[in-house]
Amino acid sequence: MDRKIIEEKAKIVDEIPKVIKGKDYQLKLTNMVFHVRLTSSKPLDLSKVAEEMVNAIYEKDRFPGVRLKLNVPDENGGMHTISILLFRKGPIIVSGVTKKEHLIAAIEYACDIIRKYGGECIEEPEIKLENMVWTGYLDYEVNLALLAEKDPDAEYNPEQFPGLTYRLGTDKKGRLHLFKNGKIVVPGTRSVEETKKIVEEVIERIKKYGVANKKSA
């Protein structure tokens, strides 16, 4: 597999903005998860992969793939960890991606493993964004207990989890975790538009129920 082809395919990462600034909120992209098809050759012997590789975890009775960790240098002089799930027929799931170089490193690492254990990688990997995680803050603090009391769609059990959770949309797949200091976490979205829609709907509810307190300077 040619590195130039991988780099070209990995540009999908650069197409996604890393920051969203909206009215009353700001978000930072903290994780992207990708599905990558790498091979169409014979199935891999995952038991052998897990047996010979130090950082591999394979619990075939519980999960059909090998879990791998790849550490790459980050811009602060430390290490950034990328998680890779490798399956018998060569697709991988890559998480922990925040920039193009992370995805490239994961693909090259997985291809090296596939070749080492008798497989072949296709010339052009097929890359699909599975979901993203965004983290940020509202411009105000929120009375979570009062919001949960007023809004039937709000889930709040502080003894189990310090944040309030919303599940939105007709299928209830749009999620947002809200904390009293205004911190928000939006997991599992597939586009910037979907992310903004979820955040802005929650902001509307917060304002509707009058549970926001402007942060002191």
| pLDDT tens digits, 46-69 | 999 999 998 899 999 999 999 999
In contact, 86 and 46? CB cutoff 8 Å: yes
In contact, 133 and 188? CB cutoff 8 Å: yes
For the chain, what percent of residues have pLDDT higher than 70? 98
The number of domains in the chain is 2
23 lies in some domain? no
| pLDDT tens digits, 68-94 | 999 999 888 899 999 999 999 889 999
121 lies in some domain? yes
| pLDDT tens digits, 123-159 | 899 999 999 999 999 999 999 999 999 999 999 999 9
Q: Are residues 122 and 154 in the same domain?
A: no
Buried b (16+ CB within 10 A) or exposed e, 189-206: beeeebbbebbebbbebb
200 lies in some domain? yes
162 lies in some domain? yes
Print the domain residue range for 177. Answer: 139-214
Q: Are residues 121 and 143 in the same domain?
A: no
Read off the pLDDT of each residue in 203-212 and give the average, rounded to a whole number: 97
Where a domain ends, among 107, 131, 155?
Answer: 131
Where a domain ends, among 92, 109, 131?
Answer: 131
Predicted local distance difference test score (pLDDT) of residue 206: 97
Q: Are residues 150 and 89 in the same domain?
A: no
155 lies in some domain? yes
Q: What's the pTM value of the predicted model, to 2 decimals?
A: 0.92
Q: Are residues 60 and 114 in the same domain?
A: yes
Give the residues across from 135 on adjacent strands. Answer: 28, 185
22 lies in some domain? no
Predicted local distance difference test score (pLDDT) of residue 40: 67
Read off the pLDDT of each residue in 102-108 and give the average, rounded to a whole number: 97
122 lies in some domain? yes
Contacts of 129 (CB under 8 A, 6+ apart): 12, 16, 32, 33, 34, 190
210 lies in some domain? yes
Average pLDDT value for the chain: 94
Q: Are residues 159 and 191 in the same domain?
A: yes
Q: Are residues 72 and 56 in the same domain?
A: yes
Predicted local distance difference test score (pLDDT) of residue 68: 97
Q: Are residues 80 and 144 in the same domain?
A: no
In contact, 16 and 100? CB cutoff 8 Å: no
Predicted local distance difference test score (pLDDT) of residue 76: 86
Q: Are residues 109 and 163 in the same domain?
A: no
**Residue 102 pLDDT > 80, yes or no?**
yes
CA–CA distance, 103 with 109 (Å, rounded to integer): 10
In contact, 95 and 33? CB cutoff 8 Å: yes
Q: Are residues 126 and 148 in the same domain?
A: no
Q: Are residues 107 and 145 in the same domain?
A: no
Predicted local distance difference test score (pLDDT) of residue 62: 95
| pLDDT tens digits, 8-17 | 999 999 999 9
Q: Are residues 144 and 124 in the same domain?
A: no
Where a domain ends, among 108, 131, 154?
Answer: 131
38: phi then psi, degrees, rounded to nearest 5: -115, -25
Predicted local distance difference test score (pLDDT) of residue 130: 97
Predicted local distance difference test score (pLDDT) of residue 217: 61
Predicted local distance difference test score (pLDDT) of residue 173: 81
CATH of the domain at 125: 3.30.310.10
**Residue 198 pLDDT > 80, yes or no?**
yes
Q: Are residues 98 and 118 in the same domain?
A: yes
